[in-house]
Amino acid sequence: MAVVGMWAAAAVAQDASGRIWLLPFEVDFDSGAANGDAIIGRFIPVNSLVVRENWKLVNVAMLTIVDAPGGRPGDPGNPEPLAGPKVFGLGDLTDAVLYTRTTSKGLMWGAGAALGIPIATDDRLGSGKWQAGPAVRLGHQVGSWRLGLLATNRWSFAGDPERAEVHQLLVRGFIRRALGTNWFFVSAPIITANWNAASGQKWLVPFGGGIGRSFEVDPPRINVSVQAYANVIRPDGAPDWVARIGFTFPVRLPGGTR
């Protein structure tokens, strides 16, 4: 939703004061799909609002820009895509709001809701359906390790009556380990399950990770990472593997104390 330059990881790393917004962007290069390769860019802004002592609302949005053929199974929010030739444009918008503690110690958790909004510029790039469902966030830091996930399970409730109904689980995992002062290992797979698919065709599960580096910028850090994932469980026609470049740009708001 993703380091972090990624959806889940960005939510885990959010500054407790709410005075730093994270602007992650990542680019996936998919290869090995039955109908050809794809390039998928994701802009994942993360911001928060303190609503009471020790509690805040975290908003995590995800907007995709896609250059891909239609009919690629396993896509987040679009598990039953329309087939067709290569197309370029916007995918659907996902937005999650979670009520969570401001503390960064111990087990961090949050709960809320996610909404899928059908704004795709081409029918092949979106589900054509409005979707909604619960969202959960977990995070924990132990020594040099930072662990987390952001999970949503959404059902379609409105939209194009000619399109397939959506019932999909989306999990954005996150593992990060510091490697010295500025380097880190990161793994942030995007796991999906299409509950409406036939047996053996429901899950898309990547396995992999990569290396990243942080750059100091007065004083928040810009993170850059390079990763690779093999889709060890996948529906027929889905990509074999994914290469990813991730960036996270923190923006300090006026009035911050650090």
pLDDT digits (tens, 9 = 90+) for 218-240: 656 788 999 999 999 999 999 99
pLDDT-above-70 percentage for the chain: 87
Helix (H, G, I), strand (E, B) or coil at 188: coil
Strands (E), the chain: 20-31, 38-43, 46-52, 55-70, 84-101, 108-117, 129-142, 145-159, 167-179, 183-187, 190-194, 203-216, 221-233, 241-252
Burial (CB < 10 A; 0-12, 13-18, 19+), residue 229, is: buried
Q: With bands split at pLDDT 50, 70 and 90, how would you rate the model's confidence at 93? A: very high
The model's pTM = 0.87
What is residue 142's predicted lDDT score, i.e. its pLDDT?
Answer: 87
- Output the 3-class SS for 161-176: CCCCCCEEEEEEEEEE
For residue 95, name the pLDDT band (cuts at 50, 70, 90).
Answer: very high
Neighbours of 64 (CB within 10 A): 24
In this prediction, residue 63 carries a pLDDT of: 93
Which has more pLDDT, 8 or 197? 197
| Distance (Å) of CA 209 to CA 177, 195, 243 | 11, 26, 9
> Looking at the predicted structure, is the pLDDT value of residue 16 above 50?
no
Beta bridge partners of 193: 169, 203
Task: Please state whether beta strands 145-159 and 46-52 pair in parallel, antiparallel, or not at all (unpaired).
Answer: unpaired
Residues 142-162, mean pLDDT to the nearest whole number: 93
Q: Once rounded to an integer, what is the mean pLDDT over residues 114-127?
A: 95
State the average pLDDT over residues 71-77: 88
CATH superfamily of the 7-252 domain: monomeric porin ompg (2.40.160.40)
Is the pLDDT assigned to residue 13 strictly greater than 90?
Answer: no
Give the CA-trace dihedral at 104, 109, 115, 121, to 10 degrees.
Answer: 50
